[in-house]
Amino acid sequence: MATIASLAAKEILDSRGNPTLEVTCALASGSLGTASVPSGASTGIHEALELRDGNAARYGGLGVLKAIQNVEEEIFEHVRDKDLDQTLLDKALIALDGTENKSRLGANAILGVSLAFARAYAEEQHVPLYEYIGGLAGNTEFKLPQPMFNIINGGAHADSGLDIQEFMLAPTGFPTFRKKVQVATEVIATLKKIIGARGYTLTVGDEGGFAPKLASNEEALDCIVEAVQDAGYSSTQIQIGIDVASSGLYKDGAYTLRCAKKEETKTTAEMIAWYETLLEKYPIIFIEDGLSEDDWEGFREMTQKIGSKVKIVGDDLTVTNTKRIQAAIKNNAVNAVLIKLNQIGTLTETVEAIQITKKQGWIPFVSHRSGETMDTFIADLAVGLSCDYIKAGSPTRSERICKYNRLIEIEDTVGGA
């Protein structure tokens, strides 16, 4: 058990220039832990809710001073001088908030405290953070995740006009995490030349990937395949993942794609058929959020039709929520689950979500958010619970690179990917 002596929070800026929280937890032993909270742009309606100030005269209403006050006053008064472990703390925070989606105190305030305590407690125990996290699930076998590098941005993460939100590199055919990072940066450099040669502007999106106004979603995939080949690699060594973020395309029972300067409306069946054509042409290994967040029947049909060929990843569908993951299991809706700490709001609930996913034989896929900080917690989370995949953006911006650098550092300690 550990005792919290103080909680302090401050407002910092995330990678999109929006306010977020940084929380520092001091234990009675003198151990300190600090954590900052990311924020998403493409968020599901079932996610835990951030608390924002709503004062339009300050940061356009996005300030987090109320959340900071909740950390330093109500939360601290509730947990101070109590004997706590991670589970007891997180359950106390959930009960104190008293809402289904953590909207009263704010999921951002609760998560900041949960993660800062984890770091402080790991320091008190003199163990690396990944080992501490592993201990929460009884895991002592640590491995490096397969990185997925976001290299072309669309959807809510860029103004490229592309319907698909993320196009990712999967350098699967290499023995170490360090080598996978090297290969990804080489392909990205080659992709930059290809995009420029086609006459497109080399802008970037929220997660560091290029955001050119390409003629079609397929052209983005063509550019990636060409870049892989020109960099000297093959489609068996480097494959592709896509995050369609389809909830943003869905309205009135249909999906509307606007790329290529024309609107095209698709039914669920037509979306699945489109994915089947993409799988025939491109080396795609997973499709995230291929359908809308409540299209349960569609996800079940998609998994039945192409789940043996590709990972069907739930994100907005499952939102790191054990109840929705259990519903996905009941409906056989997916075969992989995206894991985002701030979708659910505590470390304990996140660990439970990963455990349920793995027990089902599905793939847990740890993820960053579009609004990131220099916090590297997700790197230790992925290793500590031996998660199969991680995505942290393009290795071209510091708030993304720091996660990959932390994983390289861990690899030097625990061994290869």
Query: pLDDT tens-digit profile of 394-408?
Result: 999 999 999 999 999
Tell me, what's the pLDDT at 155?
Answer: 78
Tell me, what's the pLDDT at 232?
Answer: 97
**252 falls in which pLDDT band (50, 70, 90)?**
confident
Tell me, what's the pLDDT at 202?
Answer: 87
User: How is the chain split into domains, by residue range?
Assistant: 2-126, 146-414
Mean per-residue pLDDT over the chain, rounded = 95
Tell me, what's the pLDDT at 157?
Answer: 54
**267 falls in which pLDDT band (50, 70, 90)?**
very high
The CATH H-level (homologous superfamily) assignment of domain 2-126 is Enolase-like, N-terminal domain (3.30.390.10)
Q: Quick one: average pLDDT of 176-201?
A: 96
Number of C-alpha atoms within 13 angstroms, CB side, residue 358?
18
- Tally of CB atoms within 10 A around 281: 11
**Short-list 10, 42, 321, 12, CA closest to 156:** 42
**156 falls in which pLDDT band (50, 70, 90)?**
low
Tell me, what's the pLDDT at 158?
Answer: 60
Q: Quick one: average pLDDT of 202-228?
A: 92
Query: pLDDT tens-digit profile of 356-392?
Result: 999 999 999 999 998 999 999 999 999 999 999 999 9
CATH T-level fold of 146-414: TIM Barrel (3.20.20)
Active site positions, annotated: 207, 340
Q: Which of 158-162, 174-178, 340-344 has the lowest mean pLDDT?
A: 158-162
Given a cut of 60, is residue 230 above it in pLDDT?
yes
In sequence order, the β-bridge partners of residue 153 are 166
Tell me, what's the pLDDT at 328?
Answer: 97
Tell me, what's the pLDDT at 42?
Answer: 63
Q: Quick one: average pLDDT of 16-25?
A: 97
For residue 205, what are its two tokens? 């999106």
**Short-list 325, 350, 346, 354, CA closest to 96:** 346
Q: Quick one: average pLDDT of 261-270?
A: 89
**412 falls in which pLDDT band (50, 70, 90)?**
very high
Query: pLDDT tens-digit profile of 300-357?
Result: 999 999 999 999 999 999 999 999 999 999 999 999 999 999 999 999 999 999 999 9
Gap between the Cα atoms of 155 and 363, Å rounded: 24
Given a cut of 60, is residue 416 above it in pLDDT?
no
Tell me, what's the pLDDT at 226?
Answer: 98
Long-range contacts of 332-336 (CB under 8 A, 24+ apart): 332/300, 332/303, 332/304, 333/296, 333/299, 333/300, 333/303, 334/299, 334/303, 334/307, 334/362, 335/303, 335/307, 335/311, 335/362, 335/363, 336/286, 336/311, 336/312, 336/362, 336/363, 336/364, 336/365, 336/389
- Residues of the chain with pLDDT > 90, as a percent, come to 89
Given a cut of 60, is residue 187 above it in pLDDT?
yes
Tell me, what's the pLDDT at 160?
Answer: 66
